[in-house]
Amino acid sequence: MHSTTDIPVPAQKASGFLQLIDPDGHRVGSAEERERVRDLDHDALRGLLEDMRIIRRIDEEGTALQRHGELGIWPPVRGQEAAQIASARMLRAEDFVFSTYREHGVAYCRGAEPTDLARAWRGVTFCGWDPNAIRMAAGQVIIGAHALHATGYAMGIAWDGDDSAAIAYLGDGAMSEGDVSEAMVFAASFRVPVIFFVQNNQWAISEPVTLQSRVPLSERGSGFGIPAIRVDGNDVLAVASATRTALERARTGGGPTLIEAVTYRMGPHTTADDPTRYRADDEVAAWEARDPILRLERLLDREGALPDGFDERVTARGDALAGEMRAGCTALSDPTPESLFSHVYAEPHADMDAQREALVAYLDGLEEAPR
Ligand SMILES: Cc1ncc(C[n+]2csc(CCOP(=O)(O)OP(=O)(O)O)c2C)c(N)n1
Ligand SMILES: [Mg+2]
């Protein structure tokens, strides 16, 4: 019998993806590929850069708040800003997002306020925002489950004859889940307007993607009959282009698309994780050189499109929003214990009422009630 170390694990191809900005900030790619995103001019690129820098600052604040005991846990997004911002900015307000726990950048683009991003991690609510208002469901912690929700929602869109789309943000690890496989079968069979946007950040906690897939994840699409695009996830233009292609297909009855955005989780899995126990410093350093924010800054700088004062203005705005998040978070009040029973069913329920009353009676009997 082999031990796992005897089995060679092939490295996934690093290249073989759509790239329009290389890590040094040079424009690359064919004329045809560049044409798709020609309207994303310097102004638009500065907007994407500002979004990415804001979300990096908010992400740092999330970690700081957890370290200060104000949040129970925080899943950092550092390194994945281009994948999230450039895809989310291509969506229309009426599209619907189904995400994991790490999509702070997507939630920000949908209109979540800084404090909204902290609420659930403080444990005071199940979802930090109103899902119907910003058209983004609560972050899903059950890996891959929301691929089914997105597909079901997109089946509804198809039946309504609407031209909106659903997008499921998944991780590389989620691609090993049965739920995702089942979702892809339904999505392909019914040609529904859903995008499976996989952020391949190379790790599922301590499990490398090379152990979960012998081929690039995008290659799985063809087995389901789903067209796939493998894209440099640290390149805003490439991500925008791929997302546009997928949205166009969705809106015109062409069915689902799988996007594999190749990126990297630069921080720990969550604030409860120590990645130095399972990954090498030189791997992290290699990805730091491909940082999505530096890459776009290099491009704009090279093209003379980073005006004086931009850096200071964005830093100040990021600090202000982080301050808003900190103040908003620490001012949140704790829910009462009995409110737990209010959210189990949409309608009142006799069993829940009975359980609520029992808890209230128990708490009232305590010398020091925690309410
Ligand atoms: C069904 C299920 N199995 C296991 C877990 C525990 N778990 C939480 S995060 C995670 C890794 C997910 O990795 P990936 O899909 O690559 O997303 P990432 O965290 O890298 O963004 C696992 C296994 C879970 N939450 N749900
Ligand atoms: Mg991952």
Best of 179, 200, 205, 210 to mutate for ligand 1, by most ligand atoms within 8 A of CB? Answer: 205
Measured between alpha carbons, how far is 264 from 284 in angstroms, rounded to an integer? 9
Return the exposure string of 295-321: e unless at least 16 CB atoms fall within 10 Å of the residue's CB, then b. bbbbbbeeeeebeeebeeebeeebeeb
Residues 272 and 353 in one domain: no
Ligand 2: centre distance to CA 172 (Å):
5
Question: What integer pLDDT is reported at residue 15 of this predicted model?
Answer: 59
Question: What integer pLDDT is reported at residue 3 of this predicted model?
Answer: 47
Residues 369 and 329 in one domain: no
Return the exposure string of 258-287: e unless at least 16 CB atoms fall within 10 Å of the residue's CB, then b. bbbbbbbbbbbbbbebebeeeeeeeebeeb
Torsion of CA 279, 282, 283, 285, to 10 degrees: 120
Residues 78 and 45 in one domain: yes
Ligand 2: centre distance to CA 238 (Å):
20
Name the residue with the closest Cα to ligand 1, atom 17: 171
Distances from the Cα of 247 to the Cα of 159, 196, 252, 280, 281, angstroms:
17, 11, 9, 37, 37
Residues 293 and 242 in one domain: yes
Residues 54 and 108 in one domain: yes
Question: What integer pLDDT is reported at residue 368 of this predicted model?
Answer: 74
Task: Look at the chain and report how many structural domains it folds into.
Answer: 2
Give yes or no for residue 83 CB within 6 A of ligand 1: no
Give yes or no for residue 237 CB within 6 A of ligand 1: no
Range of the domain at 364: 336-371
- CATH number of the domain where residue 234 is located: 3.40.50.970
pTM score, whole prediction: 0.94
Residues 152 and 94 in one domain: yes
DSSP annotation of 31 reads H
Give yes or no for residue 14 CB within 6 A of ligand 1: no
Residues 139 and 120 in one domain: yes
Ligand 2: centre distance to CA 37 (Å):
27
Q: Which amino acid, 135?
A: R
Best of 143, 175, 206 to mutate for ligand 1, by most ligand atoms within 8 A of CB? Answer: 143
Residues 344 and 259 in one domain: no
Q: List beta partners, residue 316.
A: none
Positions marked active-site: 265, 269, 278
Residues 242 and 364 in one domain: no
Question: What integer pLDDT is reported at residue 324 of this predicted model?
Answer: 98
Q: How many CB atoms lie within 10 A of CB 324?
A: 15
Residue whose C-alpha is closest to residue 112's, from 325, 331, 326:
325
Give yes or no for residue 141 CB within 6 A of ligand 1: yes
pLDDT tens, residue order, the chain (371 aa): 444 455 555 555 555 899 999 999 999 999 999 999 999 999 999 999 999 999 999 999 999 999 999 999 999 999 999 999 999 999 999 999 999 999 999 999 999 999 999 999 999 999 999 999 999 999 999 999 999 999 999 999 999 999 999 999 999 999 999 999 999 999 999 999 999 999 999 999 999 999 999 999 999 999 999 999 999 999 999 999 999 999 999 999 999 999 999 999 999 999 999 999 999 999 999 999 999 999 999 999 999 999 999 999 999 999 999 999 999 999 999 999 999 898 899 999 999 999 999 999 999 999 776 55
CB contact at 8 A, 122 and 329: yes
Question: What integer pLDDT is reported at residue 1 of this predicted model?
Answer: 40
Name the residue with the closest Cα to ligand 1, atom 19: 204
The bridge status of strand 166-171 relative to strand 194-200 is: parallel
Question: What integer pLDDT is reported at residue 367 of this predicted model?
Answer: 79
Residues 311 and 365 in one domain: no
Residues 43 and 64 in one domain: yes
Question: What integer pLDDT is reported at residue 25 of this predicted model?
Answer: 97
